[in-house]
Chain A
Amino acid sequence: MNFAFTDEQKLLADSVARFVSKDYPFEARRKLMASEEGWSRAHWKSFAELGWLAAPFAEDHGGLGGGPVEAAIVMEAFGKGLVLEPYLPTVVLGGGLLAAGGRRDLLKALVEGALQLSLAWVEPKARFDLAHVETRALRKDGGFALSGQKGVAFNGAAADWIIVPARTAGGIKDKQGITLFLVPKGAPGLTLRPYRTVDGVRAAEVALEGVTLKAEHVLGEVDWGHPLLEAAIDRGIAAVSAEAAGIMGHIVATTRDYLKTRKQFGVPLASFQVLQHRAVDVYVLSEQATAMAYRAAVLVAAREPADRARAVSAAKAWIGKAGRQVGQEAIQMHGGMGMTEEMPVSHYFKRLTMIDTLFGDHRFHRRRFAALGGHVEKD
């Protein structure tokens, strides 16, 4: 048992951290956020060249032999800079599903930086239930015709392929009967309504009206998409947990610096014990969040789906709640300045807040964790 990074993992962490501190100053990020696409294709090309897009994939999938821990390392560092590039939708969610569905051809393009993906798992009435799928895929001429609504599909507008779970059998909330489809950009009947999210990334509402697909557009097996989807979301949870830990680490540092420099009553705020202790509480939460995130990144690769689910739900529930507290405290300790758009801390707060909702909030995951029996000691 070892919570320490290997030498390769240390190199990866260092190289992403270097990029964030050198090439991702907050003003540059602000410009990217306001740009048409909302992120930088040039950065994406660098990610490919540096091997970050290949990092979490097995070698026989064209990757560098890593896994969820490597994804977590990238995401933690990205969290510190609030990196906008769509690593989560394209690499973690989309790439993970391409690997699970055996699409080595598309994965090759992905690791080369030539492919963008979106996973449209959200449905307007489903809340956090992954099995709740109303979008229908009717069989037609040896293929399928998809109709339905998907919401908040991250990276939808940039995606070359949108992965769409649709119902091929069963009732609206059945786990069985869900199939994953690869819907190409610009397919007839596919309409996107793109927008910016409150935390600065890009997403889209997706309408499907009789989108015609062939059998080869099925990812995985017909009717058996749910286990793949659940596993992908669990990997996504491990990844955003690491991102949240990175954000919290950044918030601790920036709040510490602010308290040391900002003067009131003729002394630095850091001289007030009430603020010292609040800042320490935030530090303690951030340390624990990092440990929780890497624990999830290791255990998300567990063979048993229940072990995997317990570990990621534990992390998501704990980090979601801690993240709320860390973010709220940071704004409070920055005072009026924390309220402004100009102060970076408000952006970190917003992303941290939305991460709690992403893939299910802390209440949802605490219930999922409890329903799986809570903490289970292995042998």
Chain B
Amino acid sequence: MNLDLSPELRAFRDEVRAFIKAELPADIRDKVRKGLQLERDDYVRWQKILYKKGWIAPNWPKEYGGPGWTPMQRYIFDEEVGKSGAPRVIPFGLVMVAPVIMKFGTEAQKREHLPKILSSEVWWCQGYSEPGAGSDLAGLKTRALREGDHYTVNGQKTWTTLAQYADWIFCLVRTDPAAKKQEGISFLLIDMKSPGVTVKPIVTMDGGAEVNEVFFDNVKVPVTNLVGPENQGWTVAKYLLGHERTNIADIGRAKHQLARVKEIAAAERADGGSLLEDEDFRDRIAEVELDLIALEATLLRIVAAETGGRAPGAEASLIKIKGSELQQQLTELLIEAVGYYGFPYNRDAMEHGWNEPPIGPDYAAPLAPAYFNTRKTTIYGGSNEVQRGILAKFVMGF
């Protein structure tokens, strides 16, 4: 047991760090640092830079274009990217649908989709949740009726993140309404430009609109876009969910946020000193820092087990619970730190290129919206109650 990086890993980390420093465009870094809104082009530009370097898909096997890293290298890479203030890589194509296509897709599907996912030429979104199917995903109703060489799809998806930017959507649809809940579902790839697809933004309480409703009105989808056997979509979906929860802890970003909390607390005044010197607030920060350390140590133990050849199992649920709680604690500290200047609501100030003087400190505008927005983390990706259910079943054996 040893917690120092080996010289090789240290060199690797330095290489990653130097690369990000040199290649991450300054305007994007600035937006992330200030908590401003990122555009489609910001994400794609950064992802193409990583693609050119061969680092865009750490989770992909080498034969498909992955870098062939060890679990520890992947851990270090994720952490460095998060700490640097680079945008997160949009996971729907690279992390979610790609492994599914590799495992269940036809040769034609692999040839068609994988290279464009890797190069970020195509933006994907996820069509899972429906108005009547949240935690109970298998309750989905979107109907795909087979008619010759195509399916006709009718129904509605919701909470579809960044669907406004997406070229393709992967969907769970019901192909056999007579079968038992989990057994009549199929996994379908749908071109967002197909006639009958409509995207409608959902404005969330922070004022943003990163999620959408997606409507399907007699959308024709070629049968060749079915992934895996018809009515076996639930198996495919479960495989994907296992991938969705990798790096969900986002330790690097949490460290970045923690540094931000301290920076802002140092700038805020309280009782004639800085808020960072306030014993009570310092104690609050320490409490969150300890949770961060505990999560990091837990993750590193899991990485060690993975390196030893054990596939990650239900621990992913543990990490999801604790990682999402940590993200909420950090944004809560930020809104607390800024005090009264959490009040002014100025959506425009969160757009790049807004040139008017800030209301209050220049870091204040995004903090309250970030706090409100982050309430989502314990709900999405399988709510934390669903994760507890998974642990109850698979770890506790209840």
Contacts and interface: CB of A to CB of B under 8 A. Distances in A.
Contact of B392 (A6, A276, A367): A276
A228 interface: no
B298 interface: yes
Interface stretch (B227-235, B239-247, B301-309, B364-372): B301-309
Interface string A270-302: 110100110111011001111110110111000
A73 to B, nearest CB: 9
A260 B305 CA distance: 29
A145 B298 CA distance: 50
B301 A281 contact: no
Say which size band chain A's interface belongs to.
35 or more
A78 interface: no
Choose among A283, A284, A294, A377 the residue with the greatest number of B CB atoms under 10 Å from its CB.
A284
A276 B285 contact: no
Interface of A is mostly: helix
B317 to A, nearest CB: 9
Interface in B309-323: 315, 318, 321-322
B282 A284 contact: no
B362 interface: no
B396 A280 contact: yes
Given A318-B290, A318-B294, A3 B1 contact: yes
B300 A3 contact: yes
B309 to A, nearest CB: 11
A172 B273 CA distance: 31
Pick the most buried of A259, A279, A280, A297: most chain B CB atoms within 10 A of its CB.
Answer: A280
Given A3-B300, A276-B389, A288-B322, A370 B282 contact: yes
Contacts of B295: 288
B191 interface: no
A183 interface: no
20 contacts: A3-B3, A3-B303, A256-B396, A260-B397, A270-B396, A276-B388, A277-B385, A279-B396, A280-B395, A283-B396, A284-B322, A284-B391, A287-B318, A292-B294, A318-B293, A369-B286, A369-B289, A370-B282, A370-B283, A374-B262
Given A256-B396, A294-B297, 14 more contacts: A3-B1, A6-B1, A276-B398, A280-B391, A281-B388, A291-B297, A291-B298, A291-B301, A292-B294, A295-B297, A298-B1, A317-B290, A318-B291, A375-B293
Interface of B: 1-6, 9, 72, 255, 258, 262, 282-283, 285-287, 289-295, 297-298, 300-301, 303-305, 307-308, 315, 318, 321-322, 385, 388-389, 391-392, 395-398
